[in-house]
């Protein structure tokens, strides 16, 4: 029996949903693959000027595979971390970091209410379907950047990344998740050039 199967059986040994557990074990045993795209990828990035600040945002495509979806349904919370960075390249010295920002969205499922919940800090939202919840997670915005920190004569490099943080999974699942591609959800860093613009303009990258 594989380590992945042992870990999941240990974690769910007191569970009552045997059918779902068997489905997860079968998928692990057969290395089930799905026909549609899975994982996280950047779909669109955007920079807007408003009230003296620049706002960087991004839309991702987030699609869970069978293993992760079933783990979520069985009560395993998922933590999606989004990182933003804005730097000013300098040929004569190290690049200057203008702003960095990290946000965590916790996605969980309540079997009693049959609702999905997204929690950010002390704020939370409930959803009746996984699709609705993932659409909210898919749109991320960084903290506003003071326009006075940027020069309209300089090009900056913005970077963004979203990944599933497997280090926050329950202990019995962490070891195998770290070595199992089924849990590898990472958009990797996406970078694009940003030049500060006049207030009425918007620079968008798709």
Q: Provide the residue ranges of all domains of the chain, joining segments of one domain with +.
A: 3-201
Q: Does the pLDDT value for residue 3 go beyond 70? A: no
| Angle (nearest 5°) at CA 93 between 87 and 95 | 10
Residue 5 pLDDT: 45
Let me know: does 98 contact 156? Beta carbons within 8 Å.
Answer: yes
- Higher pLDDT pick, 96 / 2: 96
Residue 22 pLDDT: 46
Residue 197's Cβ-count burial label (10 Å; 0-12, 13-18, 19+) is middle
Distance CA 152, CA 204 (A): 16
Residue 45 pLDDT: 95
Kindly state which CATH superfamily the domain 3-201 is placed in.
Immunoglobulins (2.60.40.10)
Q: Does the pLDDT value for residue 61 go beyond 80? A: yes
The number of beta carbons lying within 10 Å of the beta carbon of residue 49 is 19
Residue 13 pLDDT: 55
Residue 156 pLDDT: 94
- Higher pLDDT pick, 158 / 11: 158
Q: How far does the chain reach from its first CA to its final CA, in angstroms?
A: 45
Q: Model confidence over 141-199: pLDDT tens digits?
A: 999 999 989 988 889 999 999 999 999 998 888 887 877 889 999 999 999 999 887 55
Nearest CA-CA partner of 28 in 55, 7, 4, 44: 4
Residue 174 pLDDT: 84
Work out the average pLDDT over 33-55: 80
pLDDT confidence tier of residue 30, bands split at 50, 70 and 90: very low
DSSP letter for each residue of the chain: --HHHHHHHHHTTT-S-HHHHHHHHHHHHHT---SS--EEEEEEEEEEEETTEEEEEEEEEEE--HHHHHHHHTT--EEEEEEEEEEE--TTSSPEEEEEEEEEEEEEEETTTTEEEEEETTEEEEESSHHHHHHHHHEEEPPPEEGGG--TTS-EEEEEEEEE-GGGS-HHHHHHHHH-GGG--B---EEEEE----TT-EEEE-
Q: Model confidence over 77-131: pLDDT tens digits?
A: 999 999 999 999 988 888 999 999 999 999 999 999 999 999 998 899 999 999 9
* The 78-88 sheet, strands edge to edge: 123-127, 115-120, 96-110, 78-88, 156-164, 190-194
- Higher pLDDT pick, 36 / 59: 59
């Amino acid at each position: 029996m594989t380590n992945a199967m042992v870990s999941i059986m240990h974690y769910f040994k007191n569970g009552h949903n045997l059918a779902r557990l068997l489905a997860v074990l079968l998928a692990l045993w057969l290395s089930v693959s799905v026909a549609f795209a899975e994982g996280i990828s950047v779909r669109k990035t955007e920079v807007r000027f408003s009230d003296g600040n620049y706002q960087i945002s991004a839309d991702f495509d987030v699609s869970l595979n069978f293993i992760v979806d079933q783990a979520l349904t069985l009560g395993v919370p998922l933590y999606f971390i989004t990182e933003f960075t804005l730097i000013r390249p300098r040929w004569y010295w190290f690049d200057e970091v203008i702003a960095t920002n990290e946000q965590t969205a916790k996605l969980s499922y309540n079997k009693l209410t049959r609702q999905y919940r997204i929690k950010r800090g002390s704020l939370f939202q409930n959803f009746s379907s996984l699709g609705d919840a993932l659409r909210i997670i898919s749109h991320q915005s960084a903290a506003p950047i003071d326009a006075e920190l940027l020069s309209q004569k300089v090009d900056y490099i913005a970077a963004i990344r979203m990944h599933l943080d497997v280090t926050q999974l329950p202990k019995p699942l962490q070891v195998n998740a770290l070595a199992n591609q089924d849990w590898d959800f990472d958009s990797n860093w996406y970078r694009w050039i940003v030049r500060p613009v006049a207030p009425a303009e918007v620079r968008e990258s798709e």
